[in-house]
Amino acid sequence: MVEIPVLKPKKVPIHIAINTGSVKAWAAEEEKDYTQAVKKHLELLDELVDLQLKHENRVLTVNLTEYEGMITDLKEFFNHLINDERIHANQVRVFIIGRWYEIDSELSDVLKQLVEKTKGYDKFFLNFCINYDGQDEMLGAIRLIVRKILADKLKEEELTPAVMKENIYTSFFPPPELIIEPGLKYSGILLWDVKGALIYFTNEHWMLFDKKEFEKALVFYNKEAKKEE
């Protein structure tokens, strides 16, 4: 298990999660070339790395709800991260969350290399959710727990929220304190851990998301966090 020292947040929450996607729909609505839309999408993802490091956000989870139709581009993006000086100089460990092993084999091989290349780092943690669904994550955890009970490795009365946490994809990480949702609907990201998190809904589409909007979310977090003190 990854040991992450819990630091008291000052201006930035320890764990931020953000939802992305709807690239194809945006390109169609705005009458933009899909190839250029994908390029912009990847530029925004790359900027999230800069924002994580700039604000010293220990754990950033990025939900890639859309990946079909851009496999080649994603391979290039993740290959870029493998040798990205920002990743290595700042000791960013990358995790891939979801059923990513079921997607294109060439892309999954690149993801494996990225995870392997950064496994020794522990200063920052960057999670990408690929082929991920919050409800599917819950069902997978329930199935795993049922198998443990049937194999007499776990007693029904021992089932607690902590045990549930141990069996989900993000068992290594503290729950998110801030979830950023471009749009007005909750995507289901990190469904088990969402209790207690502040959710920042923005009218801006993900494809129009920028550092100003990210920083607005941080202002929202600080304002709401102070109310609870």
pLDDT values of the chain reduced to their tens digit, one per residue, 229 residues: 455 544 444 578 999 999 998 999 999 999 999 999 999 999 999 999 999 999 999 999 999 998 888 999 999 999 999 999 999 999 999 999 999 888 989 999 999 999 999 999 999 999 999 999 999 999 999 999 999 999 999 888 889 999 999 988 888 899 999 999 998 889 999 999 999 899 999 888 999 998 999 999 999 999 887 776 6
Query: What is the reported pLDDT for 191?
Result: 93
Answer left, alpha or beta for residue 192, where phi above 0 means left and psi between -120 and 50 means alpha: alpha
Q: How many domains does the chain have?
A: 1
Query: What is the reported pLDDT for 6?
Result: 45
SS (H, E, C) 78-122: HHHHHCCHHHHHCCEEEEEECCHHHCCHHHHHHHHHHHHHHCCCC
The answer to whether the CB of 53 falls within 8 A of the CB of 90 is yes
| CA dist., res. 175 & res. 190, Å (int) | 8
Does 41 fall in a domain? no
Query: What is the reported pLDDT for 8?
Result: 46
Residue 46: Cβ within 10 Å count: 14
Does 23 fall in a domain? no
Element (H, E) at 23: helix 23-29
Does 21 fall in a domain? no
The answer to whether the CB of 2 falls within 8 A of the CB of 37 is no
Does 6 fall in a domain? no
Residue 135 domain boundaries:
47-227
Does 192 fall in a domain? yes
Query: What is the reported pLDDT for 44?
Result: 96
CATH at 57: 3.40.1180.10
- Predicted model pTM: 0.90
Does 2 fall in a domain? no
Residue 227: Cβ within 10 Å count: 6
Query: What is the reported pLDDT for 184?
Result: 81
Element (H, E) at 52: helix 34-54
Does 176 fall in a domain? yes
DSSP 196: T
Q: Single out the residue of 49, 54, 51 nearest to residue 82, CA to CA.
A: 49
200 to 124, 180, 222, 223: CA distances (angstroms): 22, 5, 12, 12
Does 104 fall in a domain? yes
| CA dist., res. 66 & res. 157, Å (int) | 39
Q: Single out the residue of 152, 150, 205 nearest to residue 181, CA to CA.
A: 205
Q: Single out the residue of 195, 173, 177, 217 nearest to residue 48, CA to CA.
A: 217
Which tokens go with 92? 């960013």
Query: Which residues, other chains included, contact 20 with Cβ-Cβ below 8 Å and sequence gap of 6+?
Result: 41, 44, 45, 62, 63, 64, 65, 66, 182, 206, 209
